[in-house]
Amino acid sequence: MTINLDQVRSDTPACSNLIHFNNAGSALQPRAVTEAVLQHLLLEQRIGGYEAADMHSALADNFYHAFATLLNCAPREIAFAENCTRAWTQLLLSVPFEAGDRIVTGQSEYASNYLSLLHLSRHKGVKIDVIPNNSEGLICLDSLESSLGNDVRLIALTHIASQSGVIQPAAAVGKLAQKHRILYLLDACQSAGQLHLDVNELGCDMLTGTGRKYLRGPRGTGFMYVRHSILDYLQPQSIDLQAADWLSRDHYALRDDARRFEVWEHFVAGKIGLAVAADYALHTGLQQIESTVSRLAATLREALCTIPGISVHERGARLSGIVTFSSALHPAHSIQAHLRHHHINTSVVRRQNTLLDFPERKLGDINRASVHYYNTDTEIDAFCAALNKL
């Protein structure tokens, strides 16, 4: 099975007038996703929000089945969230920490996640251990295992960092977590939609992701996976009528599935669109997406290395679709503005948002180009030609 490039580019209208290398920020939606969102919003306009939700309940419920297939789990282990950070924070705060407990994380941790850890440490008295990366940017597994003691309550890992294309050894971390019987929370914000993910192979107890990145879903959508066997150990910090049943004046019962972490009021059109995005990725084929993205990113890295003054910052045997680079001659924001002038979308990774990682790597602000399976070799050539014009 191969990806029908003509079809997926036809399904992606913006491909005809720009080069979108900002998929790690927000990927281009397939036409089917946008139409699903718009159709539901128009239905709300015509008949009302509650009535539209009733009429499209089967489309919304498909979200749980689509993501269960995507992650190889049960639909009851899936919940909808407004974004990855909200899902991740909800799960973090549901762990019953006590003062003195340790959380072990990595050097490449996502900025918002680490800020949540700092906030938790300040108010709950938990300790944070940051495991360094090795020379290839991978979390050091030996250091990780030596840090795991009885006081470690949680391992929190970002699968692919926003500031680097390195794919962390999430499954190996999962084996260590299971060996030491420690909860494992995996942030799949950048990996969902570009890698084949199986929560059983990964060994994680919880996993979170967003809609807007490689899944090509709507902004303002996200999801979480919670292994059913740990559900009753977790303690949601807030609940509403979606999360629990009010049984009597002074008694309630939480739902017996991951939806105890949802709220009743949510972006219904976005949820429907995110389900369509997951189905679109499944139809395209995650293995095919992964291999295509990997090849395109490798081609881009090789091409960038031929441009005088450009340094590429990824190294290692297994890298993702995120390619980071910098110029010895031009600041990152100038390069981004120059590329945008040529109708090429990229991002800038700010040193301020990577204070665990960039000081160790002696990096300032850098540029990020992130490819997806609808990108082409011709676009890579045009990208490098635009850079050469500097």
pLDDT band at 66 (very low <50, low <70, confident <90, very high): very high
What is the rounded average pLDDT of the residues 280-301? 98
Which CATH number covers residue 84? Answer: 3.40.640.10
Residue-wise pLDDT tens digits, 314-352? 988 899 999 999 999 999 999 999 999 999 999 999 999
Say whether both 204 and 142 belong to one domain: yes
Cα-based distances in Å from 283 to 128, 279, 297: 41, 6, 22
pLDDT at residue 56 is higher than 90:
yes
To the nearest whole number, what is the mean pLDDT of the chain?
97
Q: Please report whether residue 2 resides in a domain.
A: no
Among 257, 283, 309, where does a domain finish? 283
* Cross-strand pairs, 185: 156, 206
Three-state helix/strand/coil letters over 181-199: CCEEEEECCCCECCECCCH
Q: Are 343 and 272 in contact (CB under 8 A)?
A: no
Say whether both 275 and 383 belong to one domain: no
Query: What's the confidence (pLDDT) of residue 38?
Result: 98
Q: Please report whether residue 25 resides in a domain.
A: no
Task: Give the tokens for residue 108.
Answer: 């490449």
At what angle are helices 377-388 and 286-304 packed, to 10 degrees?
30
Q: Between vectors from CA 162 to CA 159 and to CA 165, what angle results, nearest 5°?
A: 70
Say whether both 199 and 306 belong to one domain: no
Residue-wise pLDDT tens digits, 248-272? 999 999 999 999 999 999 999 999 9
Length reported for the chain: 390
Query: What's the confidence (pLDDT) of residue 282?
Result: 98
What is the secondary structure of 186-254 as a DSSP string? EE-TTTBTTB---HHHHT-SEEEEESSSTT---TT-EEEEE-GGGGGG---S---TTTEEEEETTEEEE
Percentage of the residues of the chain whose pLDDT score is greater than 90? 98
Rg (CA), the chain: 21
Tell the residue number behind the tokens 């909800």, with chain if given.
90
Q: What's the maximum distance between 2 C-alpha atoms anywhere in the chain?
A: 72
End-to-end CA distance of the chain: 40
Say whether both 369 and 292 belong to one domain: yes
Q: What is the pTM of this model?
A: 0.97
Rounded Cα distance between 208 and 181, Å, is: 20
Q: Between vectors from CA 333 to CA 220 and to CA 190, what angle results, nearest 5°?
A: 35
Say whether both 253 and 294 belong to one domain: no
Q: Residue 303 gets which letter from DSSP?
A: H
Question: Residues 384, 136, 160, 67: is their CA dihedral positive or negative?
Answer: positive
Say whether both 253 and 302 belong to one domain: no
What is the secondary structure of 97-132 as a DSSP string? --TT-EEEEETT--HHHHHHHHHHHHHH--EEEEEP
Q: Please report whether residue 121 resides in a domain.
A: yes
Which CATH number covers residue 302? Answer: 3.90.1150.10
pLDDT at residue 63 is higher than 90:
yes
Among 259, 283, 307, where does a domain finish? 283
Helix (H) or strand (E) holding 337: helix 332-341
Q: Please report whether residue 335 resides in a domain.
A: yes
Q: Please report whether residue 21 resides in a domain.
A: no
pLDDT band at 390 (very low <50, low <70, confident <90, very high): confident
Rounded Cα distance between 23 and 238, Å, is: 33
Cα-based distances in Å from 244 to 86, 238, 249, 263, 328: 19, 10, 14, 10, 56
Structural domain containing residue 226? 32-283
Task: Count up the domains in the chain and report the number.
Answer: 2
Q: Please report whether residue 100 resides in a domain.
A: yes
Q: Please report whether residue 17 resides in a domain.
A: no
pLDDT at residue 1 is higher than 80:
no
Say whether both 268 and 148 belong to one domain: yes
Among 283, 304, 319, where does a domain finish? 283
